[in-house]
Amino acid sequence: MSGTDDLLVEARSLAAELDGAEPPTLLDVRWRLVGPPGRDDYAAGHVPGAVFVDLDTALCGPPGPAGRHPLPDPAALQAALRAAGVREGHPVVVYDGGDGMSAARAWWTLRWAGHRPVRLLSGGFPAWLAAGLSTSDDVSTPEPGDVTVRPAALPVLDASAAARLAAADGVLLDVRAAPRYRGEQEPIDPVAGHVPGAVNVPASEYVTEGRFPAAEVLRDRFAAAGVAAGAPVGAYCGSGVTAAQAVLALHLAGRPDAALYVGSWSNWVADPDRPVATGSGTDA
């Protein structure tokens, strides 16, 4: 596979692969920040053969000062992935409820763990339904996998590295909605505002209902935000979920070196000594 083919897959193409001799391992990672758990959605109907994997408990560590969705313990992640049937070197496809956020975080986590052959179902479960493809409510029980987690295969920012990136070294993208960036509202975290020097590029500007525009469109949007060839770039959001989607978009735009500030704003504001900026600032 080449180009974007190793990042995204369309519903009908996935259906053909699932009917093949060596189908990919399929992970249902539907998730909501608030509301019913994704497991309920899975129980009501899912892509046949998919295994449910919980973002909060399997793909992230416990919430705390490191953030609301910190990095998982590698041993715990390995156990969860093996239980889901993930095999060493075998392709994985992840999907969510259609916004592409939790699927992107699952994609990022698997690649961070050193498992490269992982793609995201473009448009998520709604795209599967829209294609008229069959669903199942059977709980899949895969054979245990043998994947080995090798952390740090993708770059990660901590608070200090994020601050340096925003200050001088490159571009730090804040992909939250503009009112949160400006500090006008903060519905989740205890402090409103943004990392000083960060540039606001809301997720709605580069993804629509879990679908990304063409690579050149993404490159132009990120270039308008100051992302230059060869200069470091990273992304953050509230807790590292939407920002993982930004990292995927940057990969599509030809920036596989893009770093994720996993702890994001929920980690930044855990330390009251860290500076907070408000207003439009470097809003792009």
User: Catalytic positions, please?
Assistant: 237
CA distance 239 to 257: 20
Reading the block at residue 254, the tokens are: 């030809």
CA distance 125 to 116: 22
Tokens 């100051």 correspond to 226
Beta-bridge partner residues of 121: 9
Helix (H) or strand (E) holding 234: strand 233-236
CA distance 1 to 20: 17
DSSP category for residue 99: S
Helix (H) or strand (E) holding 167: none
Work out whether strand 171-174 and strand 156-157 pair parallel, antiparallel, or are unpaired: unpaired
Reading the block at residue 67, the tokens are: 């953030």
Per-residue 3-state assignment (H helix, E strand, C coil) for 51-89: EECCHHHHHCCCCECCECCCCCCHHHHHHHHHHCCCCCC
CA distance 61 to 66: 9
Contact of 17 with 23, CB cutoff 8 Å: yes
